[in-house]
Amino acid sequence: MEMRFGLIGLGHHGKHGVLPAFDEPDAKGVKLTAVCDVCQENLDYVTRPVEKYLSAEEMIAKAPIDAVYVAVGCDRACGIVMTALKAGKAVICEKPLAATAADARKIADEVKARGSLFAVNFETRYGKRMEILKKWIEGGYFGKIHAIQFDNLWDCHKTFTPTAARRAHLLSLTGGLDCGIHELDQARYLLGGSWKKVRAMGAWFEEPFTPPPHICVVGMLDNDVMISLNASLAFTANIEPREFVDNLYLAGTEGVAIIQGLFSMGETTARLTSRTKCETISIPANGHSSDIALLLAEFANVWKNGPETPHKFASAEDGYQAQLATELAIQDAIENAGRK
C-alpha cells in the first residue's frame, strides 16, 4: 500500500526540490496524489495526473491523501500544519518548522497530544557526512566529545538574480539561519541533548533585513557539548563568482573529525584523526531531491509498520529545538548589534 501525499506550496523549493523527489528511485512506498498552491501559475507548472487545489484547507478536507508535505515557508506553515493534524493526516513540514519558537512549540504539543506521525525536513540527516560521522562516533574514536563546529557559507542564489525576491523573503524571516538551521539540527542529531544556552553576533552586509544575513552562533547543549556555527546567505551574494563553504569539525578527548566541503573543490572530504584510527573518505556531491526521497520512503515505512520502526527523520520536538536555538541566536545578534 502506498502512502498518498498532497504537496502544499509549489514555490522554488516545492517545484525544484520536493516535486522531483517523488520521482526518485529511492522514494519507495509513496505517491503524490494532490498539489496545492494559492497561485494558479504554480499549479499549472505541475503536469502529472494529480488533483489540484488553490486552498490548503480544501485539499486537506477533500483530496485522496494520507499525508501532507508543507513547503509554504515558515511564516505560513503553522495554521496549515495544525489543520492537517486535526484532520488526522500525517505531516512532513519543511524547515524552519515555524516563524517563532512559540508556534513550533504549539505544533510539537499538538503532535504529541494526537500521537500524529510527523517529520520536519532536515534532510541533511540523510547525507553521507552524517552517516560517516555517526559510524565514527559509534566506533568510539573521539573519546568524550566536547565541541562541534560548523561553517555554512553561501549566497542563496545571489541578490541580483530572478530569485532575489525569494531570497529576500527567506532572509527577512531567519537571515543566515534559514539554511544554518540544518547545522543546529545536525549538532543534536549527532550528539543528543537540548539547547541550554545560545549567544550570537551578526553581520548585515548592508542588507535591510532584521535577522542578520551572516551570523556567528555559539551555544551549549545540556550534555555540555559546545557548538559554534558560522552561517551566511551573504557570502559572495553581490558578485557573479560563487563560493560555498560547508565545513564541520568535531573534537573529543581521543580524536577529531574534519569535514571540508568547498564549492570550488566539487566534492567533500571527511577526515578522522584519532588515537586508534586515521581515515580519509571522499564524498561526492548530491542534491536536495535525493535526500528528500529517502525521507519520504522512511516516513512511509514508519506509517506502514508503526512508530517503533527505526528511523532518523527529525521529530516535531527536534523542529522546536532548532527553532528555539534559531530564535535565541537572532535575538542575541540583534541585541548585540544595538538594533531593534
Ligand X SMILES: NC(=O)c1ccc[n+]([C@@H]2O[C@H](COP(=O)([O-])OP(=O)(O)OC[C@H]3O[C@@H](n4cnc5c(N)ncnc54)[C@H](O)[C@@H]3O)[C@@H](O)[C@H]2O)c1
What is 291-317 written as a DSSP string?
HHHHHHHHHHHHHHH-TTS---PBPHH
Contact, 248 vs 129, CB < 8 A?
Answer: yes
Q: Find all residues with CB under 8 Å of 102, minimum gap 6, and list them.
A: none
- 73 vs 255 by CB, closer to ligand X: 73
- 113 vs 165 by CB, closer to ligand X: 165
- For strand 267-274 and strand 51-53, is the pairing parallel, antiparallel, or unpaired? unpaired
Q: Measured from the CB of residue 96, what is the shortest distance to ligand X in angstroms?
A: 6
Q: Measured from the CB of residue 321, what is the shortest distance to ligand X in angstroms?
A: 17
Q: Could you say whether residue 12 binds ligand X (CB under 6 A)?
A: yes
Contact, 13 vs 71, CB < 8 A?
Answer: yes
Select from 231, 205, 203, 234 the least CA-distant residue to 218. Answer: 231
In 10 A of CB 295, how many CB atoms?
26
d(CA 246, CA 228): 13
- 128 vs 166 by CB, closer to ligand X: 166
Q: Measured from the CB of residue 318, what is the shortest distance to ligand X in angstroms?
A: 14
Contact map string, positions 125 to 154, toward ligand X, x by CB under 6 A: ------------------------------
Q: Could you say whether residue 63 binds ligand X (CB under 6 A)?
A: no
Member of 33, 42, 149, 321 binding ligand X (CB under 6 A): 42
Span interacting with ligand X, options 33-41, 60-68, 241-249, 257-265, rule CB under 6 A: 33-41
Select from 257, 226, 221, 247 the least CA-distant residue to 146. Answer: 226
Q: Could you say whether residue 317 binds ligand X (CB under 6 A)?
A: no
- 90 vs 295 by CB, closer to ligand X: 295
Q: Measured from the CB of residue 288, what is the shortest distance to ligand X in angstroms?
A: 5
Q: How many alpha carbons fall within 13 Å on the CB side of residue 202?
A: 30
Q: Find all residues with CB under 8 Å of 331, minimum gap 6, and list them.
A: none
Span interacting with ligand X, options 35-43, 187-195, 219-227, 244-252, rule CB under 6 A: 35-43
Q: Could you say whether residue 157 binds ligand X (CB under 6 A)?
A: no
Q: Could you say whether residue 123 binds ligand X (CB under 6 A)?
A: yes
Q: Measured from the CB of residue 313, what is the shortest distance to ligand X in angstroms?
A: 12
Q: Measured from the CB of residue 219, what is the shortest distance to ligand X in angstroms?
A: 21
Number of residues that bind ligand X (CB under 6 A): 28
Q: Could you say whether residue 13 binds ligand X (CB under 6 A)?
A: yes
In 10 A of CB 243, how many CB atoms?
13
Q: Could you say whether residue 71 binds ligand X (CB under 6 A)?
A: yes
- 8 vs 227 by CB, closer to ligand X: 8
Q: Could you say whether residue 94 binds ligand X (CB under 6 A)?
A: yes
Q: Could you say whether residue 95 binds ligand X (CB under 6 A)?
A: yes
- What element of type H or E holds 283? strand 278-284
The C-alpha cell that represents 113 in the structure block: 497530544
Q: Could you say whether residue 36 binds ligand X (CB under 6 A)?
A: yes
Alpha carbon distances (Å) from 224 to 89, 144, 146, 159, 320: 37, 11, 7, 39, 20
Please state at what angle helix 316-336 crosses helix 177-191, rounded to 10 degrees: 130
Select from 66, 71, 38 the least CA-distant residue to 52. Answer: 38
Member of 20, 24, 29, 38 binding ligand X (CB under 6 A): 38
Contact map string, positions 168 to 187, toward ligand X, x by CB under 6 A: -xx-------x---------
Member of 3, 7, 9, 30 binding ligand X (CB under 6 A): 9
Residues engaged in binding ligand X (CB under 6 A)? 8-14, 17, 36-39, 42, 56, 71-74, 76, 94-95, 121, 123, 166, 169-170, 178, 288
